[in-house]
């Protein structure tokens, strides 16, 4: 009996060592939770195709940035772009990998999905606690045809630090000087009003079970749960509905070419079709990696995902990066990621 | 009697030494781990403590954007939710334990006992999800509107029950916590009541005491120390509970007079924000919150020990 368990232990230990050796060529990364489902799906397909696996720990953007700075992973992933100074200081380069959108959802008796129109300033006033009733004149002005009840508004926010929070507060800060001043944009902020729920599922649940609630969730979540989404008036003054083509429009209209560090937040971008709360999730790698082979392996995976991953992303309601931006990113790879003075990546 | 053999005795001595030092090491390990936790918490929290000083525990602001952090909101939430939980769970747990040991018909003893043990085995995330999806809507639609209408208009007490019925908030968190700590309190108290010698109780009955008198004059005084232990076990769990509370507390770093308003606890704030916290000051402030929880728990346990000591002395003095 004891001998058996001893033998089992030895076998297990041997198996662990063997597995670690087999996984040595795997790509390792850590960071943002928002793109995790699509990275996992890509990784699965890529493994069947090439035999190279991806070990991605979705520990949150903050953790991803810490891990890449500690050089324990080949790439980090962040939902919010790092500022150019921070990238330079750490010797990192970043590029957008996947795009998604945040959608405000409401729960008002008699209002169906796509019937209500709101704009950034109005939503900011709601979350500041200034607009407290659904029949407020500012909401009526945007929705002259809707019969709005005199019901209290219950704002629901994401309590856990998240890229969703960052995009939403960044959009509200761009739309309202008062919001920028009093609350600001970050992955967690101090909300002056409302109630905090944990995760997309928490916000969705609080919104659906509270009369008069307004919340915001990732697009995939709103779509799959058939939530009552609203139209938003975008930068060009056009009301738009949330959808893949509108997120892509925002990404395509952003001024990537003049932001060499890709520190572009895709909220409130110009263009008639642009959805105003769009965001990209970013990848971080070293400019002069200590292990160029590992970085090359990761870049090969990313190049494959840019080329062949679009349909898989769309299945999960994510939006691929527009081709023009992909071309820019590849130029950055060649110019910025080097080992011994030579670019690590080359388009074959 | 052939075991008197000098070689054997010497071997036994060696074994004994080895065994003694092994147990000693095991015991010391606890102290080392505890010390390590305290040291790393203080080190991690140092930047925040240096920046904010004592203001960290008296300020309500918690703003990652401006980098201003104060722990008063989460501390308040931690203490108030645990107090509500104790207020609900201690009398109920006491009742359950008394019923099971003194009054329960024997065929019902096992089912209730097993049910309590099962309740203790439910993972906290399940309580959180249940609280959010099942309990919160009921509170929101029925309990809270009634409280707001009937209790909210009273002077003094009324202030605790005002504002919109969100369903989740400090009160809901307190109720969920009460359910979570109930099995610990009930099971410990039951075990303590069962240790009361039958002879003492029967002497009471023999003197013509009623069940009520036996319970209050024999069982309870005999079990005081163990009862306090059970309550402290429950309180310890309530103070540190994370997942279930995070789901139902509403997660706002604010202090409101109303128990229906959203709040936050130390552990829920850490669970919510640690993964995405960037910047040294933010991370360090969250670790400082952990240090505060450590201190609060330490204080509670120290108080409990002191109370137990006093009770024991009283018990001896009375006997």
Average pLDDT over residues A98-124: 92
Quote the distance between the C-alpha of residue A307 and its chain's center.
Answer: 20
Question: Which of residues B124 and A23 earns the better pLDDT score?
Answer: B124
What whole-number percentage of chain A has pLDDT above 90? 49
ipTM of the complex: 0.73
Q: Quick one: pLDDT at residue B308?
A: 81
Taking only the tens place, the pLDDT of each residue in A137-155 is 999 999 998 888 888 899 9
- Does A162 reach chain B within 8 Å, measured CB to CB? yes
- Does A198 reach chain B within 8 Å, measured CB to CB? yes
Chain B closest-CA separation from residue A215 CA (Å): 14
Q: Quick one: pLDDT at residue B3?
A: 57
Q: Quick one: pLDDT at residue A7?
A: 52
**Sequential DSSP letters for A124-177:** HHHHTTS--BTT-HHHHHH-TTS-----B-EEEEE-S--HHHHHHHHHHHHH-H
Average pLDDT over residues A199-213: 87
Q: Measured between beta carbons, which residues in chain A are less than 8 angstroms from residue B63?
A: 184, 189-190
Q: Quick one: pLDDT at residue A1?
A: 40
Say if residues A34 and A162 touch (Cβ distance below 8 Å).
yes
Q: Which residue of chain A is at minimal alpha-carbon distance from B165?
A: A210
- Does B251 reach chain A within 8 Å, measured CB to CB? yes
Best to test chain B binding among A65, A87, A89, A190 (most B CBs inside 10 Å): A190
Tokens of A96: 């957008």
- Whole-prediction pTM value? 0.80
Q: Which residue of chain B is at minimal alpha-carbon distance from A188?
A: B64
Best to test chain A binding among B136, B278, B280, B286 (most A CBs inside 10 Å): B278
Answer whether A196 sits within 8 Å of B262, measured CB to CB: yes
State the burial class of residue B319 (Cβ atoms within 10 Å of its Cβ: 0-12, 13-18, 19+): exposed
Kindly tell me if the per-residue pLDDT of A109 is higher than 90. no
**Sequential DSSP letters for B58-119:** H---EETTTTEE--HHHHHHHHHHHHHHHHHHHHHHHHHHHIIIII--HHHHHHHHHHHHHH
Answer whether B275 sits within 8 Å of A63, measured CB to CB: yes
Q: Quick one: pLDDT at residue A46?
A: 93
Residue ranges of chain B whose pLDDT lies below 70: 1-4, 315-319
State the pairing for strand pair A92-107/A213-218: antiparallel
């Amino acid at each position: 009996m004891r001998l058996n368990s001893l033998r089992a232990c030895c076998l297990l230990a041997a198996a662990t060592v063997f597995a670690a050796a087999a996984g040595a060529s795997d790509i390792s990364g850590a960071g943002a939770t928002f793109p995790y489902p699509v990275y996992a799906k890509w990784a699965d397909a890529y493994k069947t195709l090439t035999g190279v696996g991806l070990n991605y720990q979705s520990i949150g953007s903050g953790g991803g940035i810490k891990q890449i700075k500690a050089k324990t992973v080949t790439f980090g992933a962040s939902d919010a772009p790092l500022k150019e100074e921070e990238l330079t200081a750490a010797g990192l380069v970043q590029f957008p990998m996947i795009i998604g959108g945040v959608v405000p959802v409401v729960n008002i008796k008699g209002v169906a999905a796509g019937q209500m129109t709101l704009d950034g300033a109005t939503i900011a006033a709601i979350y500041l606690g200034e607009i407290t009733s659904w029949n407020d004149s500012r909401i009526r002005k945007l929705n002259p045809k809707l019969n709005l009840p005199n019901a209290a508004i219950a704002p629901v926010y994401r309590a856990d630090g998240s890229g969703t929070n960052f995009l939403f507060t960044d959009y509200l800060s761009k739309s309202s000087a008062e919001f920028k001043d009093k609350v600001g944009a970050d992955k967690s902020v101090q909300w002056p009003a409302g109630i905090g729920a944990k995760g997309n599922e928490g916000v969705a649940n609080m919104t659906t079970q509270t009369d008069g609630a307004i919340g915001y969730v990732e697009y995939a979540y709103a779509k799959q749960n058939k939530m009552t989404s609203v139209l938003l008036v975008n930068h060009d003054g056009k009301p738009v509905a949330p959808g893949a083509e509108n997120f892509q429009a925002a990404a395509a209209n952003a001024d990537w070419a003049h932001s060499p560090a890709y520190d572009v937040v895709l909220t409130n971008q110009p263009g008639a079709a642009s959805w105003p709360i769009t965001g990209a999730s970013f990848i971080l790698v070293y400019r002069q990696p200590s292990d160029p082979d590992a970085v090359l392996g990761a870049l090969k995976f990313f190049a494959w995902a840019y080329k062949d991953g679009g349909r898989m992303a769309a299945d999960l309601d994510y939006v691929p990066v527009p081709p023009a931006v992909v071309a820019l990113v590849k130029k950055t790879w060649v110019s910025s990621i080097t080992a011994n003075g030579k670019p690590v990546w080359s388009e074959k | 009697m052939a075991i008197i053999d000098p070689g054997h005795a010497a071997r036994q001595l060696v074994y004994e030494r080895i065994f003694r030092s092994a147990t000693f090491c095991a015991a010391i390990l606890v102290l080392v781990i505890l010390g390590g936790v305290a040291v790393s918490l203080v080190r991690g929290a140092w930047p925040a403590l240096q920046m904010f000083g004592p203001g960290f525990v008296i300020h309500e602001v918690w703003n990652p954007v401006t980098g201003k952090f104060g722990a008063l909101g989460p501390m308040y939430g931690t203490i108030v939710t645990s107090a509500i939980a104790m207020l609900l769970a201690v009398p109920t747990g006491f009742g359950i334990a008394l019923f099971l040991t003194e009054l329960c018909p024997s065929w019902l003893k096992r089912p209730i006992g097993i049910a309590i043990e099962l309740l203790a085995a439910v993972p906290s995330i399940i309580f959180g999800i249940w609280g959010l999806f099942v309990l919160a809507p009921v509170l929101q639609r029925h309990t809270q509107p009634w409280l707001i209408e009937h209790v909210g208009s009273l002077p003094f007490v009324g202030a605790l029950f005002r504002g919109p019925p969100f369903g989740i908030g400090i009160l809901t968190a307190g109720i969920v916590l009460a359910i979570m700590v109930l099995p610990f309190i009930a099971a410990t108290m039951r075990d303590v009541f069962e240790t009361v010698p039958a002879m003492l109780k029967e002497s009471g009955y023999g003197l013509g005491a009623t069940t009520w008198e036996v319970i209050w004059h024999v069982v309870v005084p005999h079990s005081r120390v163990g009862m306090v232990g059970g309550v402290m076990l429950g309180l310890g769990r309530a103070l540190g509970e994370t997942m279930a509370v995070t789901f139902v507390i509403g997660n706002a770093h604010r202090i409101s007079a109303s128990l229906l308003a959203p709040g936050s606890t130390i552990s829920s704030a850490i669970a919510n924000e640690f993964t995405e916290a960037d910047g040294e000051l933010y991370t360090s402030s969250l670790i400082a919150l952990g240090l505060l929880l450590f201190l609060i728990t330490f204080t509670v346990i120290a108080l409990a020990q002191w109370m137990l000591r006093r009770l024991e002395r009283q018990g001896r003095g009375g006997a």
